[in-house]
Amino acid sequence: MGLSPGIQPFIFCPYFFIRKENIMKEENEVNKIVEEISKINFQGNIIPSAWYQYIKFPSGKADLLGITILSDIIYWYRKIEIRDEKTGQLLHYKKKFKADKLQRSYNSYAKQFGVSKRQVKDAIKRLEKLGLITIEFRNITTNDGLSINNLLFLEPIPSEILDITHQRNTYDVQTSYDPHSNVTPIAFERKTNTEITTDITTKTTTMEEAPHFSSEAYTPLYKEIIEYLNTKAKKGYRTTTKSTQRLIRARLNEGFTVDDFKKVIDITTEKWKNKKTNDGVDMEDYLRPETLFGKKFESYLNQKVKSYGKLSPEDL
């Protein structure tokens, strides 16, 4: 039977299929470089790729030092498996540090990551402001009776770490802008106590521990605070925005109350009403959670309501 004009005959070519299969196989084969890298026993910190999307400066750039320090804190809080040497059976788990919390120093992180002490201090403060970690300074006494003051203890907040690591639908976490974070200041180094994670027997003095709420207990607090802001400032912020919730949680965990939030809102709405910054921006535009509930929250709380002239954005 003849073919219609313009229709080409199909010729089965086994070689074509075999060659295509071989090419796909070659593309997926482990090459020499992959094999050599696979032999290297990598140890140390893990940085989830999602953190680069969530832990950012307001400019949109990732807070690399904050992310790096957070990954180190998480490394220390990952438990170690203890197994029977003969049977391999899992016996139990243990933590990597000896105290109840991880004790580090600004100097030790500065040396570890090749940055300044100021940069480390600022980065840790940013992580605390985001509600990702807690900071505690302690005065302790060692077994030999030595008193050591102002030791820094760090602890991650698991629910927040889980949120930024796996909740892909959350909003970006923006770390507060800090003018010191990208500079290496000239400063005199003081003799400080660094890694003392052993032989700690008595905690003589601790900072007052702020109340911590369950996850469910925060929800009505978010609603009360944000609705109050919306009413006073004539805004429309949502109570479900993750970055706003983190700021509120961070301040509550520092011991501030809902009334403190309302006082800050009252003071700033009164002071910034019908005012402009030096560059002509309406100051009412800064009546927003990231400004009011951020690193200057306590400063706003202690201000008095009074009239003043134009300001720059840095003053807010």
Task: State residue 68's pLDDT score.
Answer: 95
CATH of 50-81+92-206, one of 1.10.287.130, 1.10.10.10, 3.20.20.140, 3.50.50.60: 1.10.10.10
Higher pLDDT, 74 or 143: 74
Of the chain, the percentage scoring pLDDT greater than 90 comes to 34
Cβ within 8 Å of residue 300, ≥6 positions away: 264, 267, 268, 292
Task: State residue 184's pLDDT score.
Answer: 36
Residue 103 β-bridge partners: 153
Q: Against a cut of 0.75, is the pTM above it?
A: no
| Average pLDDT over all residues of the chain | 77
Residues 9, 15, 17, 22, Cα dihedral to 10°: -160
Residues 263, 266, 267, 269, Cα dihedral to 10°: 150
Cβ within 8 Å of residue 189, ≥6 positions away: 107, 117
- Lowest mean pLDDT across 91-105, 191-205, 275-289: 191-205
Which pLDDT tens digit goes with each residue over 188-243?
Answer: 333 334 444 434 333 333 333 444 555 677 889 999 999 999 999 999 999 988 88
CA separation for the pair 187, 20 (Å, rounded): 65
Q: How confident is the model at residue 108 (pLDDT cuts 50, 70, 90)?
A: very high
Burial of 263 (0-12, 13-18, 19+ CB in 10 A): middle
CA separation for the pair 171, 243 (Å, rounded): 6
List the domain boundaries for the chain: 50-81+92-206, 215-315
